[in-house]
Chains A and B, each alone.
Chain A
Amino acid sequence: MTNLKTRTAVSVNGLRKTYGEKVVLDGVDLSIGEGEVFALLGPNGAGKTTIVRILSTLIPADARTASVMGHDLRREAAAVRNVIGVTGQFSAVDNWLTGEENLLLMGRLLHLPATELRTRAAQLLELFDLVDVARQTPATYSGGMKRRLDIAMTLMGRPRLIFLDEPTTGLDPRSRHTMWLLIRDLRAEGITILLTTQYLEEADQLADRIAVLDRGHIVAEGTPEELKRRVPGAHIRLRFADVASLDEAARELREGTRDDEKLVLRVPNDGGIRSLREVLARLGDDVAVEGLSIHTPDLDDVFFALTGNASKEKSQ
């Protein structure tokens, strides 16, 4: 094997999907490298789940080219199925089987050798903190436990690429956090992950790269930082001990907006070390700065800036 990072896990060009008159995907291009965590971010109805269903061989679509782990999506669907794992948006655990039996069922359907079957299941129960409930049916599980079992089932066959469709939707904050840790662990093992999410923070926390999807189009793509940079509004907040210092700072810097009540000056700044040094140098030693905080736009800003038109149209 060559360097994993240089290989492509998913490559699609001009992906289109229509249901009758309704265009769900309109020319989507995606390129995901092996080992990468790639997030599809978008509101409900943007086409995220449709992309997952197409790439996991569930539904056909038109595309100039579409390959998953080097296999043509249409002609080599069976080969694709052998290397992927899918955790759908809706729970696909068997409610009448115990947690352990659910894993064994997956292992048997994946044709794992009998010796590997039980060790792998035990390993995953341990890893996903489900040992105590292994012999209970999911009816007794919490939402987070059910979701963990769902993902453990996906991992029985050691897939090299997994699809996680809204893995934390409906989970409480603690379960969401646990899920994030799990996803980071999977990434550390070199598994390629395509996840969809409506949560900007989630994409920011987990993804190496993000594609923002809106009404069947990718409206922006890049690392979280690249996307944030596309939106103006980065600034630093300088806090002072008294009005005199604030006055002096405002005079020295000649820009920014002041808040006399809070004794704060907001100055446009990208937050980089260089530009910070520059600001502090201009203030010199005489001006007493009590506090400094850096504010970069979060993905919420990016999201609304990029899909703002869409939501306005919809609300009309």
Chain B
Amino acid sequence: MTTLTIAAQDSATMLWREIKHSIRLLRLLIVSAVLVPVVMLLLFDYILGGTLGHGLGAVARGAPYVDYLVPGILMMTVAGGCGPTAINVSMDMTGGFVDRIRTMAVTRGALLAGHVGVSVLRMLVATAAVTGVALLLGFRPQASVADWLAVVGIVAAFSFALAWLSAAIGLVTKSVAGANGSTLPLSFLLPFVSSTFVPADSMPAGVRWFAANQPFTAVVDSLRALLTGSPVGNTAYLALAWCAVIALAGYVWAQAAFRRGTR
């Protein structure tokens, strides 16, 4: 066997392990990955949606608030997967597992590859499930087949980027609890300070520029344009470019942290 096929085989083994984990923790995952975004959707649509939709006025162009909201909730579904990924990586590093692997002739990158691969899978499945629930709740997308494919592509790219970033966070945090806490800016803060719930230009001057130009806004705006049939412009390319930058940064950070942590 060549080094490359062994590397592929080892990564597949680690992926198998992580899939088994996900199946065993399915109930927990359904709550954190699907139920939490659905509750957010209900809260913002039914409880706050009236006023918010009214306030959006021209932006919503008469469409119900749910159509504005759902693309943001889909982005938050992906971002909500950061916590479990960081926790899983951190648990491997703080337990004895990584040491056991390192005394075996296993490809170095396989462990992280498995984590990232399953993380992306989980985020995609959760996003699909939340989309289904949103459709039941009255979300009426105006997307063509090509638009849907573009949505899947952006969600996948965003998942891949956040998975590497979360893996790096899981590697550098000293404890499992710390790993979870450190992903909160990704899963909570940045989505709120973006165009997820209201447009960036409705925000106070202090955060307006940041909210308008940060990566999460680019992702939400592109998803929203694709799903509501509005002009996409260059937001899709901007979103993909941000994903590439985050993925690369996360990858480099994670590899460096893995080498440092396992020296």
Taking a contact as CB atoms under 8 Å apart, the answer to whether A92 and B13 are in contact is: no
Contact status of A58 and B9, CB under 8 A, knowing A88-B96, A92-B96, A92-B97 = no
Q: Kindly state whether residue A94 has any CB partner on chain B within 8 Å.
A: yes
Which of A84, A90, A109, A157 sits near B101, CB closer than 8 Å? Answer: A109
Q: Kindly state whether residue A91 has any CB partner on chain B within 8 Å.
A: yes
Chain B 104-139, CB-CB to A under 8 Å as 1, else 0, gives 111000000000000000000000000000000000
Cross-chain pairs A/B with CB under 8 angstroms, 14 sampled: A57-B103, A58-B99, A59-B263, A78-B105, A81-B105, A88-B96, A92-B100, A96-B24, A97-B17, A97-B20, A101-B20, A108-B9, A137-B24, A153-B100
Taking a contact as CB atoms under 8 Å apart, the answer to whether B25 and A96 are in contact is: yes
Q: Report B-chain residues with C-beta under 8 Å of the C-beta of A109.
A: 10, 13, 101, 104, 106
Distance of A59 Cα from B262 Cα, bound (Å): 9
Contact status of A105 and B13, CB under 8 A, knowing A92-B95, A96-B20 = yes
Contact status of A96 and B21, CB under 8 A, knowing A59-B263, A108-B13, A111-B9 = yes
Q: Report A-chain residues with C-beta under 8 Å of the C-beta of B101.
A: 109
Q: Report A-chain residues with C-beta under 8 Å of the C-beta of B99.
A: 58, 86, 88, 92
Which of B1, B16, B100, B263 sits near A88, CB closer than 8 Å? Answer: B100
Q: Kindly state whether residue B102 has any CB partner on chain A within 8 Å.
A: yes
Q: Kindly state whether residue A168 has any CB partner on chain B within 8 Å.
A: no
Chain A 69-109, CB-CB to B under 8 Å as 1, else 0, gives 00000000010011011101011101011000100011011
Q: Kindly state whether residue B43 has any CB partner on chain A within 8 Å.
A: no
Q: Kindly state whether residue A253 has any CB partner on chain B within 8 Å.
A: no
Taking a contact as CB atoms under 8 Å apart, the answer to whether A81 and B13 are in contact is: no
Q: Kindly state whether residue A192 has any CB partner on chain B within 8 Å.
A: no
Give the B interface residue count (CB, 8 A). Answer: 23
Q: Kindly state whether residue B6 has any CB partner on chain A within 8 Å.
A: yes
Contact status of A90 and B25, CB under 8 A, knowing A84-B103, A105-B13 = no
A101: nearest residue on chain B (CB-CB)? B20
A97: nearest residue on chain B (CB-CB)? B20
B17: nearest residue on chain A (CB-CB)? A105
Q: Kindly state whether residue A56 has any CB partner on chain B within 8 Å.
A: yes
Distance of A90 Cα from B21 Cα, bound (Å): 21
Q: Kindly state whether residue A241 has any CB partner on chain B within 8 Å.
A: no
Taking a contact as CB atoms under 8 Å apart, the answer to whether B100 and A108 are in contact is: no
Distance of A56 Cα from B10 Cα, bound (Å): 20
Distance of A85 Cα from B99 Cα, bound (Å): 12
CB distance from A56 to the nearest CB of B (A): 5
Q: Report A-chain residues with C-beta under 8 Å of the C-beta of B100.
A: 86, 88, 92, 153
Q: Report A-chain residues with C-beta under 8 Å of the C-beta of B105.
A: 78, 81-82, 110
- 3 nearest A-B pairs in the assembled complex, by CB-CB distance: A92-B96, A92-B100, A108-B13
Q: Report B-chain residues with C-beta under 8 Å of the C-beta of A59.
A: 263
Chain B 175-219, CB-CB to A under 8 Å as 1, else 0, gives 000000000000000000000000000000000000000000000
Q: Report A-chain residues with C-beta under 8 Å of the C-beta of B1.
A: 111
Which of B9, B10, B21, B103 sits near A81, CB closer than 8 Å? Answer: B103
Taking a contact as CB atoms under 8 Å apart, the answer to whether B96 and A91 are in contact is: yes
Distance of A101 Cα from B24 Cα, bound (Å): 12
Q: Report B-chain residues with C-beta under 8 Å of the C-beta of A56.
A: 103
Distance of A106 Cα from B101 Cα, bound (Å): 9
Distance of A109 Cα from B11 Cα, bound (Å): 9
CB distance from B41 to the nearest CB of A (A): 30
Chain B 1-22, CB-CB to A under 8 Å as 1, else 0, gives 1000010011001001100110
Given A88-B99, A110-B105, output 7 extra A-B contacts at Cβ < 8 Å. A57-B102, A59-B263, A81-B103, A81-B105, A108-B13, A111-B1, A137-B24
CB distance from A95 to the nearest CB of B (A): 8
Distance of A94 Cα from B16 Cα, bound (Å): 13
Which of A58, A90, A108, A137 sits near B16, CB closer than 8 Å? Answer: A108
A83: nearest residue on chain B (CB-CB)? B105
B92: nearest residue on chain A (CB-CB)? A94
Q: Report B-chain residues with C-beta under 8 Å of the C-beta of A86.
A: 99-100, 103
Q: Report B-chain residues with C-beta under 8 Å of the C-beta of A106.
A: 104
Q: Report B-chain residues with C-beta under 8 Å of the C-beta of A92.
A: 95-97, 99-100
Which of A81, A88, A96, A137 sits near B104, CB closer than 8 Å? Answer: A81
Distance of A119 Cα from B263 Cα, bound (Å): 35
